Structure 1
Amino acid sequence: MEFVPATSRLLAANRAAAAFYAAQLRQVPAARRYLRERGIEAAAGSWWQPGFAPATWTAVLDRLTGLGFTPEELLAAGLVRRSRTGRLIDYLRQRVVFPIHDQRGNVIGFTGRDLSGRTDAPKYLNTPTTTIYHKGEALFGLSLQLAHRRRRDRRPIRVFVVEGAADAIAVHRMVHDHAPEQLLPVALCGIVLTEHHLRLLRKAIGPTASLSLLLDGDDAGRDAFERWLPLLRTWAGPVDIATLPDGTDPAELLVRHGPEQALRIVLGARRPAQLARLDRILDRLDLGALDLSEPETRVRVWRAITPCFRDDPTRGADLADLAGSRLGLPLGDVMTGVVNEIA
C-alpha cells in the first residue's frame, strides 16, 4: 500500500522549506540582485518570504531530514524527487523561490525562477501536483494580501491577474492607499486561467468585483486572453484586459518608472475585454489588403467581428466606433452590417 503522509506533515514540511529558502537568500548576492532588478528587493524579509533554493543536489533534503521529516514525506510534499538513478534530490535547485499559500495561509508549494542560465532548465518551475497543491486551483498572493489588508477599507476591489509571482509583488508595490479601488494582484502558477481560479476568487472576495487581466507585452500575452474569453464571460463583475507596451512586464515598468507612474501606465492600459478582442480580430484580417467596396469582403468582416457585439451588447456603440475607425467606414454601415449578421 502506498504511503500517504498526513496533511499536517506535508504543510509542516513546506513551512520548514520556506524558512530554509528564506535564510539562504541572505547569502546569495545573485538572488538578491534578481529581486532588485525586478523592483521587489523590499519583499525579502517581508510576509512574501521569497527565498533561494541552493544549487547543490540535496540542500533541502538534508536540512529537512535533519529536522525529523522522512524522505517519503518530502517526496509527497513535492520538495524532492527521484533522479534517473533512483537517488533522492531536491526538486528546486538554483532558483529564486516564492511560497504559494492556501486560503488558510499555509505554504502548499513553491514557484521558482531559474538563475543557472542552463539552456535545458525551464525558466520557471512549480511544485508538482501533490495532495495539498494543485496549480490549477492556486493563486499566488491571494491569501497573503487578504490577510494583511485593512479590515475597514471599504473601497471596491479590483483583482489583477498577472503571469508570475514577481509581477504580482511588483503590482502590489505600485498600489497606494489613495487609489479609488483596492488593487489585489494575484499570479497564475504556471498554468492557464481555470474555472477553479474564478471559483476561488468568488469565494474569497465576492462574485461582482472587477477583474483585470494584466498581460505581458509579447505575442503570448496578447493571445492569452482570447483563449480565456469564454471562461471570463462567467464572471459576474466587470472584466477588462491590460496589455502592456511591447516587451514589458509589470516588474520592468516598476523599475523603469517607479511605483506611481508604473501604476498609471497599468491602469491606463486597461480596455474592456470585447474591445481588446475586436482589435485583435481586425489585426488578423489584414485590413490593408481588403477591398471593402466588395460586398463579399464586407460580409466576411461582419461575420468576423459580430461575436464581439453579441457577447457584450452594452458596448455596441463603443465597438462600432472602434470598428468604423479602423475600417474607415461610417458608424451606420458597421451597425447595419452587424445587425444583419446577428439577425
Structure 2
Amino acid sequence: MSVELTRERVVEINAAAWEYWRWSANQDEDWTREYLARRGLRGLQAGCAPEGWARLVGRMRGRGYSPDELVAAGLAFRTESGSVGDVFRDRLVLPYRDVDGSIIGFTARRNPATDDVDDAPAKYLNTTSTPAFDKSRDLYGLDPAAVRRIQAGARVVFVEGALDVEAIRRTGSAVVPVSGCGTALTATHLAQLRTIHPGAVALAVFAFDADDAGQAAAVRAWDLLTDDEAGTAGALVLPDGTDPAQLVQDGHGQALAERLSRPQSLASVVVDAVLARHDLTIPEGRIAGLRAAAARVARISAVPLSRVGTHLHARLAPHTDLGVIAGELAIAAAAAHHNNT
C-alpha cells in the first residue's frame, strides 16, 4: 500500500535514518572511516549503511515509521512477495541538505571491497524522487554555509560527485563546490543558483574530464547558460582518468585550489570541442573548424568574444591569420544578432 508523505515528514524520516547511519559509522563493523582516511577525507561526517536486508527498516519501525512510509521516503523498497528491504546497504552515506540545513535526501557509495566483484551493485545510489528531493533540482553541497558564501560573491564550482565536493572543501579554496552526484546538469539546477545570487552562474566554474564525454558535457552546460553567462563562466579541465577527489587523495590539493582560482573560460573549452570534430592538419579542415567554432560562440558579447579569438589563434596558428579569425567571428556575431532580432 502506498502512502502520501508531506515534505516535512520525509525530512523527519531522513533525519532519523541519518541518526542511525551515523551511529552505525561508530561501530566495529564500520569500514567508512578507513576508506575516507585513504581518500584524504579523514574526519568527514559520513554515515554507514550496514550490510543486511533490512537493518534500517527494522530500526526505523522501532521508531514508529511504517514500511510504507520508508518506501515513500526512498529509503526502502518492496519486493513482489511483499517484503521490505533497505535501499542503502553496505554503503557510505552522505546527506543532501537544503538551504535551511534540512536533510532532503542521500547519496551513497558502495563498499569498495565490492568494486571488482562481478555483478556488483551500482557504485553510487541517490534517493529517488520524494516530496523533499528531486535530483534534477537539488544539488549536493548547497547547504546554509554554502548559500551564505554564494550570496557574498563566492564562485560556484560544479563537479561530478559528493566526494569531489568534500575534497575541494578540504583544499581551503574560496570556491563553493556543488554536485548533482552523477546526474546531468539541468536548467533547474542553474535556476536554483540564480535565486541565491543573480550572478552565481555567470561566475561559476564547470569541471569536466579531458575526454570526448567531458567535451560533450561542456557543450551541454554551455547551451543551458544565458548569453551573458556563457561569456564569463569558467571551466576546469581535469587530467585524463582523474577527478578532484583523486587529486586531493594524491596530495595535489593545493595545485587544484590554484587552478580553481584561475579557471580557463568555458567558451574556450567549447571551441576546443568544436575544433576536435575537424581535421586541423589541412586548410579545409581549419576553415571549417574556425567557422563552426565562430558560429557556436557568436552569441557572447564583444569582450569575451575577442578572447575567444585569441584562443582560436593559439589553436590554429601559424596557419590561420588572426585577422581571418577576427573576420569570421565578426561575421558569425552579425548573423547571430540578425537571428535574434
State the TM-score, normalized to the length of structure 2.
Answer: 0.86
CA displacement at 1:154 relative to structure 2: 8.9
Which stretch has the larger CA shift, 158-167 or 255-264?
255-264
> 2: distance between equivalents of 1:23 and 1:235?
47
Change (3 A) 1:326 1:262: closer
Which stretch has the larger CA shift, 22-31 or 9-18?
22-31
Change (3 A) 1:334 1:5: closer
3-state secondary structure, aligned to 1:42 = coil
1:105 corresponds to 2:101:
yes
Change (3 A) 1:21 1:7: same
Deviations 1:98-124 (A, max 9, x none): 111122211111101111334341111
1:93 corresponds to 2:89:
yes
Deviations 1:107-164 (A, max 9, x none): 11110111133434111110111121111111111124337x68xx996310011111
Contact 2:159 2:177 in 1 (8 A): yes
Which stretch has the larger CA shift, 223-232 or 138-147?
138-147
Tell me which amino acid in the other structure corresponds to 2:58.
D
Which residue in 2 is equivalent to 1:191?
A: 183
Deviations 1:211-233 (A, max 9, x none): 11122444433321211211123
3-state secondary structure, aligned to 1:93 = coil
Contact 1:25 1:52 in 2 (8 A): yes
Change (3 A) 1:146 1:168: same
> 2: distance between equivalents of 1:319 and 1:6?
49
Contact 1:222 1:243 in 2 (8 A): no
Residue of 308, 312, 318 corresponding to 2:307: 318
CA displacement at 1:17 relative to structure 2: 0.5
> 2: distance between equivalents of 1:216 and 1:67?
44
1:339 corresponds to 2:330:
yes
Which residue in 1 is equivalent to 2:256?
A: 262
> 1: distance between equivalents of 2:250 and 2:304?
34
Contact 2:271 2:293 in 1 (8 A): yes
Show structure 2 runs of 5+ residues with no match: 336-341
Q: Pairwise CA RMSD of aligned residues?
A: 2.5
Q: How does 1:256-295 map to 2 (within 5 A)?
A: 256-268=250-262, 270-288=263-281, 290=282, 292=283
CA displacement at 1:315 relative to structure 2: 2.2
Contact 1:309 1:315 in 2 (8 A): no
Show structure 1 runs of 5+ residues with no match: 45-49, 177-181
Which stretch has the larger CA shift, 305-314 or 136-145?
305-314
Contact 1:217 1:249 in 2 (8 A): no
> 1: distance between equivalents of 2:107 and 2:151?
32
Q: How does 1:58-77 map to 2 (within 5 A)?
A: 58-77=54-73
Deviations 1:308-335 (A, max 9, x none): 4402232233222222232231111222
1:39 corresponds to 2:33:
no
> 2: distance between equivalents of 1:3 and 1:154?
38
Aligned length in residues: 324
Which residue in 2 is equivalent to 1:53?
A: 49
Contact 1:126 1:190 in 2 (8 A): no
Residue of 172, 175, 199 corresponding to 2:172: 175
> 1: distance between equivalents of 2:260 and 2:132?
34
> 2: distance between equivalents of 1:18 and 1:283?
46
> 1: distance between equivalents of 2:62 and 2:184?
37
1:15 corresponds to 2:22:
no
Which residue in 2 is equivalent to 1:132?
A: 132
Contact 1:160 1:213 in 2 (8 A): yes
Tell me which amino acid in the other structure corresponds to 1:167.
D
Deviations 1:176-211 (A, max 9, x none): 5xxxxx411111133111121112112223435611
CA displacement at 1:258 relative to structure 2: 4.8
Change (3 A) 1:315 1:304: same
Contact 1:15 1:107 in 2 (8 A): yes
Aligned residues with identical type, % of pairs = 32
Change (3 A) 1:35 1:217: farther
3-state secondary structure, aligned to 1:157 = coil
> 2: distance between equivalents of 1:332 and 1:309?
17
> 1: distance between equivalents of 2:3 and 2:51?
29
Contact 1:138 1:189 in 2 (8 A): no
Contact 2:75 2:87 in 1 (8 A): yes
3-state secondary structure, aligned to 2:43 = helix
3-state secondary structure, aligned to 1:137 = coil
Which stretch has the larger CA shift, 98-107 or 279-288?
279-288
Contact 1:145 1:184 in 2 (8 A): no
> 2: distance between equivalents of 1:63 and 1:154?
39
